[in-house]
Amino acid sequence: MDELKILQDDLSGPQIAAFLDEHVREMRSITPIESKHALDLDGLRAPGVTFWSVMDGDTVVGCGAIKRLDRAHAELKSMRTAAARKRSGIASMLLAHIIAEAKRMGFTRLSLETGSADFFLPARRLYEKFGFAYCEPFAGYRPDPNSVFMTRPL
C-alpha cells in the first residue's frame, strides 16, 4: 500500500467517473429514488462544489465533496470509501481534511444528509464522532423517513 493522498479532483478522469457511478448505483439499490440525494458527475462538476479523491498510488479508494449553500454554510456530499477499504480509516482521514478545508474556505457551518437505513449506521457514527448533531432538514430538503440530517459549526 502506497501512502494515501487526498487530491482536489476536477472529475475528468475515467477512474473517478467509474467510482462515482458505482456510488450512485449502490445508493439507488438501497434508497428509493425519491429519497436519493447523491449527486451525479455533472452535479459534482457544478459551480460551488469542491471535490476530493483519496488515492492509494493510482487507485481511487475514497472521495468526498462540499457544496456551497451560502456564504457561511456548506453541505458535505458524496462521501464514499471503496468497499474493500471500509473501516480502514480512509473516511476519517478524508472527513478531517474536508472539515479543515471548509474552515479555510470561510464556512462556519457544515451540514449533511445521509440515509436512515442500517446500511448507513457506520456513516452516521463517523459523523457523530466528528461532532455532527442531528438537525432538521436544510437547504430545500424535506422531512423523509429515508433521510437523516446532521450539522456542525466549524
The pLDDT tens digits of the residues spanning 68-124 come to 999 999 999 999 999 899 999 999 999 999 999 999 999 999 999 999 999 999 999
Determine how many CB atoms are found less than 10 A away from the CB of residue 19. 19
Distance of alpha carbon 62 from alpha carbon 90, whole angstroms: 7
Q: Which CATH superfamily is domain 4-108 in?
A: Gcn5-related N-acetyltransferase (GNAT) (3.40.630.30)
Summarised one tens digit per residue, pLDDT across range 49-72 is 999 999 999 999 999 999 999 999
| pLDDT score of 125 more than 90 | yes
Query: Look-up: residue for cell 480502514?
Result: 88
Q: Is pLDDT of 35 > 80?
A: no
Residue 32: pLDDT band (50, 70, 90) is confident
CA angle, 39 then 29 then 140, to 5°: 35
Give per-residue pLDDT as tens, 127-140: 999 999 999 999 99
| Domain range list for the chain | 4-108
φ, ψ for residue 32, nearest 5 deg: -55, 145
